[in-house]
Amino acid sequence: MPSRVDQLFLIERFQIMNPIAEKIAKLKARIEWGREMGYYFYLRPIEELHGSRVTVKGRDMLLFSSYSYLNLIGHPKISAAAQNAIAKFGTGTHGARLLAGTLTLHNELEAKIAAFNGTQAAIVFSSGYVTNLATVSTLVGRGDVVICDKLNHASIVDGCILSRAKFVRCKHNDMADLERCLAEAPANTGKLVVADAVFSMDGDIIDLPNVHRLCKKYDAMLMMDEAHSLGVLGKTGHGIEEHFGLSNVVNIKMGTLSKAIPAMGGYIAADNDIIMYLKHVARAFVYSAALSPAATAAAKAAFEVIEEEPQRIAKLQRNIAQFLRELKSRGFDTMQSQTAIVPIICGRDEKTLKMTKFAQDKGLFILPVLSPAVPTGTSRIRALVTAAHSEAEINEALNILEEAGRAVKVLKSSQAAPAVL
Ligand SMILES: *Cc1c(COP(=O)(O)O)cnc(C)c1O
């Protein structure tokens, strides 16, 4: 953080600014400080991307911050599908779906998404963010109640705010508190419960069986964001319901086409009536252009590949187990994570920044998450495991993290050194 003198100087300077310029200048000062300290890690251009490796400024690094959970970027069948779509339809869709922008490709993708999710129908939007924003704000409105887990993704929160429904946040994955929120909602109002299936900062899993039970009890609709569970949870990667051995308990399944699926866009899978409603009322569908042919075809091919190559899911799940087990045995706090998102708690922001710099200097591409994105005192490195990592690469990452952890005292130096394989 800036020194006391700098702070005083900054305060003085900001007093004569208008509030908009002031907030911009404040962020600029923080970023400049980070750059000077070597603590600014964001927006780094990646020159090459090959599964578990990236090239940054000509340097080969081990990548542990990719959402490509199943290592499908560059998969020959998926790339070929995108190329064929460009050959046939070109690169754009000349408009919104409802009027003249629907291609056969879009309908094929939606049919595939519905089949994959075991629902009657599906709708795709131009991003996962827009999918949540549009869906929540279209389904609920003034007079309704929308109940969110406290750690839900920003796109859900923004959808709730935009909806003008009563926005209630319950304690994280706490069923007693969810029940309290449901019980407090007036009996004949529309109720929607929305949660991440896998929480994007902590990597833990929602207690779906109990959320479902409570939604039934209080007659609420249930929406799950599967951004980090699609391709990750369940023996065949079908997500949160498969993970718990349930089917058809989620009314509205949301997912993104930009994480395990190597394309762009987002989707809702649900029954025919809900999808029909969204296709005619959701403003981000009605007033925004269709997905590009390449992204549409790539996404469809990717769903097929997930079903054709289940060994990718098995590999990812083995990698997650190895990484989590070893981090814990080396003394790291990984919270309740059971998934590919692995928080490595460092504590204060500065410790996290130091540890990130140490690890990056050793060739490990990982990124820090600081407050206020996560609660103060739980600043962390957010590591992401994928199916691209070999056992040896996971060990390499673990060794770098352990060395970094000791160097910045996230780990006690007295901790027994583990056997190095
Ligand atoms: C990434 C993410 C989104 C947004 O998806 P994009 O396709 O990147 O816009 C929505 N919800 C969660 C939980 C996410 O992690």
Which residue among 129, 151, 261, 267 is best mutated to probe the pocket of ligand 1, counting the most ligand atoms within 8 A of its Cβ? 129
* 259 labelled catalytic: yes
Of the residues 259, 300, 354, 389, only one is catalytic, namely: 259
Output the pTM of the full model: 0.93
Each residue of 40-98: pLDDT tens digit?
Answer: 999 999 999 999 999 999 999 999 999 999 999 999 999 999 999 999 999 998 889 98
Contact 192, 144 (CB under 8 A): yes
Token pair in block for residue 51? 């599964």
Q: Quick one: pLDDT at residue 68?
A: 97
> Which residues have any ligand 1 atom within 6 Å of their CB?
127-129, 132, 153, 155, 196, 200, 225, 227-228, 256, 258, 266
Each residue of 129-158: pLDDT tens digit?
Answer: 999 999 999 999 999 999 999 999 999 999
Each residue of 292-344: pLDDT tens digit?
Answer: 999 999 999 999 999 999 999 999 999 999 999 999 999 999 999 999 999 99
- The mean pLDDT value for 253-276 works out to 98
The rounded distance, in Å, linking the Cα atoms of 112 and 81 is 14
Measure 291 CA to ligand 1 centroid, in angstroms. Answer: 16
Q: Quick one: pLDDT at residue 420?
A: 45
Indicate whether 100 pLDDT > 90. no
The rounded distance, in Å, linking the Cα atoms of 173 and 372 is 20
DSSP 420: P
Q: Whose CA is nearest to atom 5 of ligand 1?
A: 128
Q: Quick one: pLDDT at residue 208?
A: 98
Indicate whether 1 pLDDT > 70. no
Q: Quick one: pLDDT at residue 101?
A: 85
In the chain, where the domains are located: 34-63+311-407, 76-308
Of the residues 228, 253, 300, 357, only one is catalytic, namely: 228
The Cβ of residue 195 has, within 10 Å, a number of other Cβ atoms equal to 27
Give me the percent of the chain exceeding a pLDDT of 90: 89
* 238 labelled catalytic: no
Contact 229, 194 (CB under 8 A): no
Token pair in block for residue 203? 């990597």
- With bands split at pLDDT 50, 70 and 90, how would you rate the model's confidence at 11? low
What CATH number has the domain spanning 34-63+311-407?
A: 3.90.1150.10
Measure 114 CA to ligand 1 centroid, in angstroms. Answer: 19
Burial of 305 (0-12, 13-18, 19+ CB in 10 A): buried
The Cβ of residue 161 has, within 10 Å, a number of other Cβ atoms equal to 14
Measure 200 CA to ligand 1 centroid, in angstroms. Answer: 9
Continuous segment of H or E residues that includes residue 176: helix 175-184
Measure 254 CA to ligand 1 centroid, in angstroms. Answer: 10
Q: Quick one: pLDDT at residue 8?
A: 59
Q: Quick one: pLDDT at residue 99?
A: 86
Token pair in block for residue 193? 């419960």
Of 2.40.160.10, 3.40.640.10, 3.40.50.970, 3.40.190.170, the CATH number of 76-308 is 3.40.640.10
- With bands split at pLDDT 50, 70 and 90, how would you rate the model's confidence at 13? low
Whole-number mean pLDDT of the chain?
94
